[in-house]
A and B are shown apart, each in its own frame.
Chain A
Amino acid sequence: ETGVTQTPRHLVMGMTNKKSLKCEQHLGHNAMYWYKQSAKKPLELMFVYSLEERVENNSVPSRFSPECPNSSHLFLHLHTLQPEDSALYLCASSRTLAGILGDTQYFGPGTRLTVL
């Protein structure tokens, strides 16, 4: 248990559905991240938030919409996804943004998403 929780753990959705992924961290961290991990591929950074402000958006399609209402919660809203979006979606947090010496990043358990 890392102090980062994600719900749901598994999600199956059709291409026309709208769903949301939720992440919550209980570590008092100020930075939160969304990653996508597809089979046999490296982690892909999607979004970075610091103190509820988005600081990084790595050319992610608009069908993924992040929301960070406070420093403890992060959402990823999904709509009109494609089958190739099926992957493990990981949330992570760190005390500050990545540039502080020794600061580390902790991951939630992930949401396994399948798009039919």
Chain B
Amino acid sequence: QKEVEQNSGPLSVPEGAIASLNCTYSDRGSQSFFWYRQYSGKSPELIMFIYSNGDKEDGRFTAQLNKASQYVSLLIRDSQPSDSATYLCAVNEAGGNQFYFGTGTSLTVIP
């Protein structure tokens, strides 16, 4: 059973702070790693993906991947109240036919 683990939270940070979201995965064959944002009652929205070890930056978002530790994280700099949502981590595997999702971390940014 392939597992993707996330701390369900809730995680609360003040506006302007850095929010750090973490995800671990069990399958060493995992190939690509995705972060989705899901507002309450809405569908998941892709934020970014990463497949090489190290950091990948996109605006205020940075994804960090460490395959040796089977760990992927998402940093949100200068957090805004509009960032308040549930963040889903997902992975896939080479040659696989599905994406595996974590349970999500609820983030609240306090004005």
Chain B nearest CB from A116 CB (Å) reads 20
User: A97 is contacted by which of B36, B90, B96, B103 (Cβ under 8 Å)?
Assistant: B96
Q: Report yes or no: A102 in contact with B49, Cβ–Cβ below 8 A.
A: yes
Q: Report yes or no: A43 in contact with B43, Cβ–Cβ below 8 A.
A: no
Chain A nearest CB from B63 CB (Å) reads 13
List residues of chain B with CB within 8 A of the CB of A97.
Answer: 96-98
List residues of chain A with CB within 8 A of the CB of B104.
Answer: 42
Q: Could you tell me how many residues of chain B have their Cβ less than 8 Å away from some Cβ of chain A?
A: 26
Q: Report yes or no: A55 in contact with B97, Cβ–Cβ below 8 A.
A: yes
Whether A60 sits at the interface, judged by CB under 8 Å, is: no
Q: Give Cα A50–Cα B32 distance, bound, in whole angstroms.
A: 19
Chain B nearest CB from A92 CB (Å) reads 8
Chain B nearest CB from A32 CB (Å) reads 12
Whether B68 sits at the interface, judged by CB under 8 Å, is: no
Binds B, one of A14-22, A62-70, A72-80, A106-114: A106-114
Q: Give Cα A88–Cα B40 distance, bound, in whole angstroms.
A: 11
Q: Give Cα A90–Cα B104 distance, bound, in whole angstroms.
A: 16
Contact mask for chain B residues 81-107; partner A; CB cutoff 8 A; 1 contact, 0 none:
000000010101111111101111000
Q: Report yes or no: B44 in contact with A107, Cβ–Cβ below 8 A.
A: yes
Chain B nearest CB from A14 CB (Å) reads 23
Whether A27 sits at the interface, judged by CB under 8 Å, is: no
List residues of chain A with CB within 8 A of the CB of B97.
Answer: 31, 48, 50, 55-56, 97-99
List residues of chain A with CB within 8 A of the CB of B44.
Answer: 43, 90, 107
Residues of B within 8 A of A (CB): 31-32, 34, 36, 41-46, 49, 51, 88, 90, 92-99, 101-104
6 A-B pairs with least C-beta separation: A98-B92, A107-B43, A42-B103, A99-B95, A99-B96, A97-B97
